[in-house]
Amino acid sequence: MIDLKMLTENPEKYRASQRARGADETLIDQLLEADVARRETIASFESLRAEQNAFSKKVGKAKGEEKAALLAEVKELSAQVKAAQAAADEAAERCLQLQRSIPNLIIDGIPAGGEDDFAVLKTVGTIRNFEAEGFEPVDHLTLGLKLGAIDMERGAKVSGSRFYFLKGIGARLEIAMMNMALDLALQHGFTPMITPTLVRPETMQGTGFDVAHDDEIYKLERDDLYLVGTSEVALAGYHADEILDLSDGALRYAGWSSCYRREAGAAGKDTRGIIRVHQFNKLEMFIYTTVEEAEAEHERLLGWEEEMLGKMELPYRVIDTAAGDLGMSAARKFDCEAWVPTQQTFRELTSTSNCTTFQARRLNIREREIVDGKPGKTRAVATLNGTLATTRWIVAILENHQNADGSVNVPKALQPYLGGLEVIS
């Protein structure tokens, strides 16, 4: 949720953010008007309540006819106070709903525009020339079928389209990759977490997902619970309504979970193989830190994602996502996209987002400021997230490391996690 005080002090900054996102600028003025109405109705209610309290004291001292007259006035005043309170509550709710409908304020300098308007920050690694090697690469599903690693047919039989089985070396490959990512997270001070995959509506909404209109989310109507598309949701809710102690530095969690997405808006796109599926596993980094440290932590998250990509020996690029392609909560997002040989393009493997104080305001997560060595007021913390490994990585590993005979070389850093296996055949 955006900072209402900051918005009233600098509304043009928020209008510019909305323009860069391609979002509705008029929401800013609507919120400013709603905030004025909220403050006016609260002032009216408090004035009438003070008058009511003063009358109550008079009634206590009065006698006879005077008391009867005052009681009649108090009754009328009580009705006015009740109406004023209802108006104040309604104005506050209107203000809150508008505040919740406005996406996070973007960080200065990110590209404006939509999905195709990203900026490429760097490209790393060498793309293999399969033609020079004398063979044409095959896609990950063809490789997965030959290696006995992926079974889409039986996945569809059991659960429907876009479900699959990872079996044999496919299952081992994912577990090895996730364990390698977990070890990397541990090296950098993350606490490992196995997180719930079902969450309450307030947790989902608090993280920034629109439960009423997001077609990507699975809902269990009978239980009023939602299946998460990332452990970010559970980890964001972990410290809801708490005051954190960040005096020793950021709190870093690495959440390992299954994730679920309807992919409702992606009909006909990437339906072959395991690029875009309804269920997958993921190791997600999540950080609580101070506002001042948020951008530095964001760079660290990106660095750890790149370290993992380097260990997998994958060519990739880093993009600065355009404002219109950011989610509700992100103020800035970097994607790492690996090269997929059979598609002749880069595809996202990881993303990392700086959500500044947006999620923390919705979930009421604060820290206590220290002023001159003494505890001061509380303020919202900053939250960040980033992917360290997920099922989709198998696509890039199989395709980039394949051989002419259909075998696949195992990246050196991953070999110890597969019992020293060097080639999958």
379 counts as catalytic: no
351 counts as catalytic: yes
- Strand-pairing partners, residue 150, are 166
**Residues 401, 141: contact at Cβ < 8 Å?**
no
**Residues 305, 388: contact at Cβ < 8 Å?**
yes
DSSP line for 293-315: THHHHHHHHHHHHHHHHHHTT--
Taking CA atoms, 190 is separated from 21, 128, 152, 232, 250, in Å, by: 32, 34, 34, 14, 10
172 counts as catalytic: no
Pairing state between β 218-220 and 251-260: unpaired
Residue of 254, 251, 236 lying closest to 194 (CA atoms): 254
**Residues 278, 377: contact at Cβ < 8 Å?**
no
**Residues 230, 261: contact at Cβ < 8 Å?**
no
Task: Report the C-alpha gap between 116 and 118 in whole angstroms.
Answer: 6
Identified catalytic residue from 94, 261, 300, 362: 261
Identified catalytic residue from 44, 231, 257, 351: 351
**Residues 318, 121: contact at Cβ < 8 Å?**
yes
257 counts as catalytic: no
348 counts as catalytic: yes
Task: Report the C-alpha gap between 207 and 335 in whole angstroms.
Answer: 20
Identified catalytic residue from 46, 216, 306, 348: 348
Identified catalytic residue from 276, 317, 347, 368: 276
Other C-beta atoms closer than 10 Å to the C-beta of 274 total 23
Residues acting as catalytic residues: 261, 276, 348, 351, 392
